[in-house]
Structure 1
């Protein structure tokens, strides 16, 4: 198998809360994650993250900057993603779970109150968040 490309967005609100989604499916099922998804063929990573966030949460975002890139490798789950993560903010809409088959729930967390069961990409993005 070859690595896939997956994108994510660390979305902050004006009170510095972070929007996370709880995954129902592998990789890392049961963990809190940044919203995002796979890049489609001939799609830029920026376009992919904007599209995925709209599909998952029915919100429009603006990208502030590339925050980090994670090598999301989990041998036990046969998973290998290269995952660019962007710092973003909502420009339109209120987040709602549009993919209940894939996401158990969505929730805003204060930066100091992030749950312990987070994905590898979320952990890496938080390390690169300098606010």
Structure 2
């Protein structure tokens, strides 16, 4: 199986709503996507968030690492979810062939749409993990 690295941005507003995108594969997720060759995870989440939402973000703590095997695609996927904050930009669907909706969603709705965070999205901020890019050695 091919190992695939995927990153997501967990962005919460002052109303405790979560930024979500609806993609053409037919499901809601946090903004994010596949890490490209020679790209760090944080570079990827910044790029993917901007491409999908029009927002520029800064990255905070690593919140979760999940993995799954997708037999139909022959992928072993590793998912990295990072805390992120919007610092610039305006909401815009810049990749309409990939994303059809951008929505600020109540926490309970986000939890329902993304059941693979078994503890719930609201619990992610309680258990921060450390992430460090050690650079090229």
Q: TM-score, normalised by structure 2?
A: 0.79
Residues 47 and 119 (structure 1), Cα distance of their counterparts in 2 relative to 1, 3 Å cut: farther
**What RMSD over aligned residues (CA atoms) do the two structures have, in Å?**
2.2
Tell me which structure has the larger Cα radius of gyration: 2
Name the residue aligned to 1:75: 71
Quote the Cα distance in structure 1 between the aligned partners of 2:110 and 2:97. Answer: 24
- CA offsets 1:56-104 (integer angstroms, 9 cap, x no match): 1111101121001110333355442111110111111222211111112
Report the Cα offset of residue 36 of structure 1: 0.5
3-state SS of paired residue (2:2):
coil
Structure-2 separation of matches of 1:95 and 1:130: 28
Could you say what secondary structure the match of 2:82 adopts?
strand
Whether 1:85 and 2:99 are equivalent positions in the alignment is no
1:26-45 CA distance string (max 9 Å, x none)? xxxx2210110111111110
Unmatched tracts of structure 2, length 5 or more: 128-137
Confirm or deny: 8 A CA contact 1:63 1:86 kept in the other structure: yes
TM-score in terms of structure 1 length: 0.82
Match of 1:24 in 2: 24
Alignment counterpart, residue 36 of structure 2, candidates 37, 40, 48:
40
